[in-house]
Amino acid sequence: MIIALIIFIVTYILLLLFPKHRAYVALISAITFLIVGLPFHQAISSIDLNVIMMIAGTMGIVSLFIESKMPSLLADLIINKMPNIKWTIISLALFAGVISAFVDNVATVLVVAPVAMTISKKLNTSPVPSIIAIAISSNLQGAATLVGDTTSILLGGHADLNFFDFFFLDGKPGIFWIIQLGAMASTLVLIHVFRKEKQPIDVVERTSVNHYFPSFLLVGMVVLLIIASFLKNMPNEINGYICIGLFIVGLIWKISKTKSISKTLNTLRDIDYFTLLLLAGLFVVIEGISESGVITSISSILGSAGNGNVFVIYTIIVWASVLLSAFIDNIPYVATMLPVVGAVAMHLDINPYLLYFGLLSGATLGGNLTPIGASANIAAIGILRRDGYEVSAKQFMKLGVPFTLAAVSVGYVLIWVLWS
């Protein structure tokens, strides 16, 4: 156990120190666990292929969806209905949130942020607040559905949740509705922050969509995931098969349309293989510390916090996740903590979804506290930097902190009321 704990601690320190090499750190750590005695077949079986295939397939379909320019058209349609800059910014943030419930957060920012940048240039105003609003709104909605964010896919894989379970589970409202009420609270923050931005806005020219087939693919993926939620005796990897299968259909369609292998390979390059390798390595690392008893020990310590008081433990998990995710990547954090909180729930003999949803909401929304807390934030700041706008931590947190506190506080209360 001591050796496993040392390897795990060193791994986490290296993940923090070398964020650009996280995948290699995780893989080296996984190999180290094999060297010290983790059976190879056990390590391979610990890699959740359903999660890997879901993430890869979703990324590929999203790449085709963005390339079709459909998200840009939807943004234009929204803008043309808004009376002034305040409601344009808020509508773009909400639109980014809706898209982000089904599309990767970073991809959402890359699609919607340029629209906000164009509007700001036309009105001669700073794009910083609006693009920050788009980024944090994207992060918020990532936890709403099974395919919205990597952390949601991880939870679905660990707790065996299907697409429909994020909406209703055991006869109760799922995490989707909790996130929506949190979004309503955080929208009030946006309305207050942008209350003085009342300049009228000109009608923008509508983007022309290249192809509609990628949109059908994305909608088809969601529909098939919902249908799979109701089917019995399906393979454990059914969600992964759906996502990767539709992506392959998309690749075949692109080859037939472009008659170009190189352009099709560009779509394959858009998949974040770095994240896939990171997760594969982390699955093995988590299996290693689980096999050695580290997770059982951590869960026992956490379970005894507050003399075993469930409310205290739940509170610690939510708010510690918020604080930690403000500074560290939430993917390795959630991947590590899921088996821990599951063991805590078993130790206390309570409904595990209380702690699972508390962990997911805290870790996903906590990234909005700081400019380095989430990949979408970093992408948004990169877009601003390329246009000559340097964003300070103070500027970001002026909007990110109240937005996060509003959303997390509502979720914190609702999850407890519904699932305690």
For the chain of 420 residues, list the mean pLDDT of each consecutive stretch of 10: 87 80 89 91 88 84 84 77 84 87 77 76 80 91 84 89 90 93 92 85 75 89 80 81 93 90 86 83 85 77 78 92 79 84 88 93 87 78 81 88 94 94
Long-range interactions of 355-359: CB distance < 8 A, separation 24+:
355/313, 355/314, 355/317, 356/155, 356/158, 356/159, 357/175, 357/178, 357/415, 357/419, 358/314, 358/317, 358/318, 358/321, 358/412, 358/415, 359/317, 359/318, 359/321, 359/334
Residue 104's alpha-carbon distances to 63, 188, 237, 388, in angstroms, are: 10, 25, 21, 26
| pLDDT for the residue numbered 28 | 94
Q: Are 176 and 166 in contact (CB under 8 A)?
A: yes
Task: Output the six-digit token pair for 367.
Answer: 């990234």
> Which residues span the domain enclosing 238?
2-419
pTM of the model: 0.75
Chain centre distance of CA 75: 21
Q: Are 127 and 118 in contact (CB under 8 A)?
A: no
| pLDDT for the residue numbered 251 | 94
Q: Residue 325 — φ and ψ, nearest 5°?
A: -70, -15
Residue 367's alpha-carbon distances to 137, 172, 253, in angstroms, are: 11, 27, 37
Residue length, the chain? 420
The domain total for the chain is 1
